[in-house]
Amino acid sequence: MRIFHISDLHIGKQLHFYNMKDDQLAILGQIIDKAKELRPDAIIIAGDIYDKSVPSAESYMIFNQFLNDLSDIKPDIPVLIIAGNHDSAERLDYASAFLEKDNIFVSVQPPYIEDEYLKKIVLKDEYGDVNFYMLPFTKPGYVRHLFEEGVITSYDSAIKALIDRENIDYSKRNVLISHQFYVSGDASPEICDSEQVYITVGGIDSVDIDRIKDFDYVALGHLHGAQSIGMKHIRYSGTPLKYSVSEEKHAKAITMVTIKDKGTEITFDKIPLYSLRDVRSERGLLSDIISRATDENRHDYVSITITDEDEIYKPKDQLEEHYDHILEVKVENSRTKAQLEATDFEATVLKPFEAFKQFYQEMQGAPMSSEEESIMVDIINKLQAEGED
């Protein structure tokens, strides 16, 4: 069985103030073309469909068009979609009953009542059944009431308890679809600027891969760089587009997974995706940066650092004649470096959570409890989601 694994579409995302609609339509179009060409047996979208919990009408239109185009492919390719932390459950769920007629399965919330379980879709190939367990983004508070008091104390214990209560038969072939921050021991996953992951390894939102390692494949969303975590079969597909300059070296792709009979090693193919405009940085003398502009690259999203020592007259205006999607223009020379060094000790910019943690410690004379940390992370994530508009 071959599966397309993608995640983190972030439809509606803007870079700086540029609308990425054309970029997103183009990349989704490529995914449709690849699905027609390669005919996978299933397509997984592992969360963060939309960039905002209240998507714009345009964002709905883009995703609806994508689902329409996918469902037009005959015979049907089942599509399995879970909600990520950016998605609102209600807004992603609105058409799920209707969509199932077209073999599009959506899971937006973890089990809420006692006899409810993860949505499970069974697909067949020549070796038998493959069970797909759909685990949408979960916070401890969503599922705490399902367990005895004291069992759910963290993201890690929440995911462990949820998986344990499924009583999964691991002699069968099982795939998990999930959208959390998974870590393997002390190893740091690759993080990039567009994820808004505040808490890193050892932090409270991380979940140990030990909870999910017995699945034959784990299709993950959340981190925006394609990578396996700890074990080859536990994998983030990454975003189909670069959503920050920190991703400029990424080669974005569809992860195509091939699952054979139980016990045979899973294999991957990367199906490259080509974006309309690249997201990248330019650094050097203004004249050199300008001379590097071509008809091909002048529409790229570029973060520009000018290193000229001489004062330049309106550098941004000059650059804008050659590049039409400039994200930022920075000046870095001996003068600005000296300024930076002078202010460095007071101008350290902390991530919001770290800043609050320091503030709390100073005010209370003691660190936050893990429960307080968890509350604060929720607040920051919520504010961040709202503040993106």
Residues between 166 and 185 that touch Mn ion (CB under 5 A): none
x/- site string to Mn ion, residues 342 to 381, per CB under 5 A?
A: ----------------------------------------
Stretch that binds Mn ion, among 1-9, 105-113, 118-126, 290-298 (CB under 5 A): 1-9
Closer Cβ to Mn ion, 236 or 353, answer by number: 236
Task: State yes or no: residue 8 binds Mn ion (CB under 5 A).
Answer: yes
Q: How far is the CB of 84 from Mn ion (least distance, A)?
A: 6
Residue nearest to Mn ion (CB): 48
Quote the CA–CA distance of 317 and 18 in Å, as a whole number: 18
Residue 7 CB, nearest distance to Mn ion (Å)? 7
Nearer to Mn ion, 324 or 388 (CB): 388
- Contact at 8 Å (CB) between 28 and 242? no
Candidates 43-51, 135-143, 260-268, 270-278: pick the segment binding Mn ion (CB under 5 A).
43-51
**Tokens (6 digits) for 388:** 């993106």
Alpha helices in 147-280 (DSSP H): 155-164
In the complex, the smallest distance separating the C-beta of residue 336 from Mn ion, rounded to whole angstroms, is 33
247 binds Mn ion (CB under 5 A): no
Q: What is the DSSP letter of 66?
A: H
23 versus 48: smaller Cβ distance to Mn ion: 48
Stretch of 7-15, 59-67, 252-260, 338-346 contacting Mn ion, by CB under 5 A:
7-15
The residue (of 34 and 224) whose beta carbon lies closer to Mn ion is: 224
Q: Which is nearer to Mn ion, 358 or 384 (CB)?
A: 384
Cα–Cα dist 83/63, whole Å = 14
Q: How far apart are CA 138 and CA 92, in angstroms?
A: 15
334 CB-side CA count, 13 A: 2
Nearer to Mn ion, 14 or 305 (CB): 14
Nearest distance, CB of residue 177 and Mn ion, angstroms? 14
Q: Do residues 24 and 11 lie in contact, with contact meaning Cβ atoms separated by under 8 Å?
A: yes
Question: Which region, judged by CB under 5 A, interacts with Mn ion, from 5-13, 118-126, 162-170, 246-254?
Answer: 5-13
Among 3, 12, 31, 48, binds Mn ion (CB under 5 A): 48
Residue 317 CB coordination number (10 Å): 8
Choose between 152 and 218: whose C-beta lies nearer to Mn ion.
218
Which ranges in the chain belong to alpha helices (H)? 21-38, 57-72, 89-93, 96-100, 140-143, 155-164, 286-291, 315-320, 334-343, 352-364, 370-387
Closest approach of Cβ 10 to Mn ion, in Å? 6
* Cα separation, 120 vs 251, whole angstroms: 32
Q: Produce one character per residue of 5-25: b if its CB has 16 or more CB atoms within 10 Å, e if not.
A: bbbbbbbbbebeebebbebbb
Nearest Cα to 194, choosing from 51, 91, 373? 51
Subset of 81-120 contacting Mn ion (CB under 5 A) = none
Round to whole Å and give the CA distance between 325 and 319: 10
Q: Is-contact 187 56, C-beta < 8 A?
A: no
DSSP state of 184: B
Quote the least distance from Cβ 247 to Mn ion, whole Å: 12
Q: Using CB under 5 A, which of the segments 4-12, 61-69, 112-120, 241-249 binds Mn ion? A: 4-12
Least distance (Å) from Mn ion to the CB of residue 224? 6
Q: In whole angstroms, how close is the CB of 204 to Mn ion at the nearest point? A: 18
Q: Whole-number minimum distance, CB 302 to Mn ion, in Å?
A: 23
Binding-site residue total for Mn ion (CB under 5 A)?
A: 2
Q: Which is nearer to Mn ion, 52 or 233 (CB)?
A: 52
Q: Which residue number, 8 or 23, has a Cβ lying nearer to Mn ion?
A: 8
Q: How far apart are CA 249 and CA 192, in angstroms?
A: 11
Work out the burial of residue 308: count CB atoms within 10 Å of its CB; fewer than 13 is exposed, 13-18 middle, 19 or more buried. Answer: middle
By CB under 5 A, name the binding residues for Mn ion.
Answer: 8, 48
